Amino acid sequence: MRFACLNIPMLKIIFFDVEDYEHDFLKNACEGKYDCTLLESSLNDMTELGEDMASADVISCFTTSRVSKEMLQKFTNLKLIALRSVGFNHVDIDYCKEKNIAVETTPNYGNKSVAEFAFGLMLDVSRNISRAYNDLAQEVVNPHLSMGFELGGKTLGIVGLGAIGAEMARLAYGFDMNIIGYDIKVNPALVEKYNVKYETFDTLLEESDIISLHAPLTKDNFHLFNEESINKMKTGAIIINTARGELIDSQALYKALTNGKIKAAGLDVLEFEESLSSPDALIDINRLSDYSLKKTILNTRLLRLENVIITPHIAYDTTEAVARILHTTMDNITAFAHGEIKNNVVK
């Protein structure tokens, strides 16, 4: 895809959500080529933009920045959003399409990283590893409380069998698990290699001992796991989510975890996860919507449950995956500077 009207001597780029380990790479990659600004802060913190920042041609951010229409309207010259993520549900795509703003992602950077982390959560929850550690730290040793179960012979339901879900199937096959898959299309290679059995969503709910989510967030699958669908799950099943928090209705999940419908959960993502992963999100409580406040309360209550493990959206976070993210981001920007759009999600 070509971007015919691009003719800019030096792109002005603002990088948000920049971690210490990203700083030197991005600075060196931009030096002498682009007018770039590196900011540790999230785009969410930008209540006002100075004229210099508002005139940026390109912004780059992680999923912690909510790229809303209201925020995008503050940029007067924006042509590209270079995401340092594969997901893009935090961006107002409709507005970008209306204003001819390209949105580029970094696909396939963390297939192994995310799948391995999801499997780690599954092992932790099934064997009560974190609980046993926390008990021991409090000088409590009670083998009965930490009794778990073997994964071999259990049925794993994988929701979303793209690159990450496929890697999850490979790992599960190595543990002698039965694998049920739910996706909009069948991948014959997964059936042949790992004996994946594709089923309807309801069948997956009814037959899975453990369910792991690896689907992107869309308008159609928002709260895919709600009170109705959770009630169809096998009583005592486990749920693992390293995809997007909004795939699960937090209220329904909390209810199921406290009444025994769901035995345990391993969660790397939550609805309005900023309330836990970024404490600054709560500094100005008046900026939060009723929805955000309610989710913050639910997240705090989920965090207190003994049958839940919550991590701050770090399943992707390996040295290998981060390196791929940074290289792909700069490749995307370089191509864009030469009139080509790569990995664009605005169609």
Question: Has residue 276 got a pLDDT over 70?
Answer: yes
Residues 218-247 pLDDT 10s: 999 999 999 999 999 999 999 999 999 999
Where in the sequence numbering do the catalytic residues fall?
244, 273, 313
Would you identify the CATH topology of the domain 111-310? Rossmann fold (3.40.50)
Tell me what the pLDDT averaged over the chain comes to: 92
Residues 41-60 pLDDT 10s: 888 878 778 888 999 999 99
Task: Give the pLDDT band of residue 1 (cuts 50, 70, 90).
Answer: very low
Question: Has residue 2 got a pLDDT over 50?
Answer: no
pTM: 0.86
Domain boundaries, the chain: 12-109+319-337, 111-310
For 95, list phi and psi in degrees, rounded to 5: -65, -40
Instruction: In whole angstroms, give the CA distance from residue 176 to residue 91.
Output: 39
* Separation in Å, CA 101 to CA 4, 72, 77, 86, 98: 13, 10, 10, 17, 8
CATH number corresponding to 12-109+319-337: 3.40.50.720
Instruction: In whole angstroms, give the CA distance from residue 15 to residue 25.
Output: 12
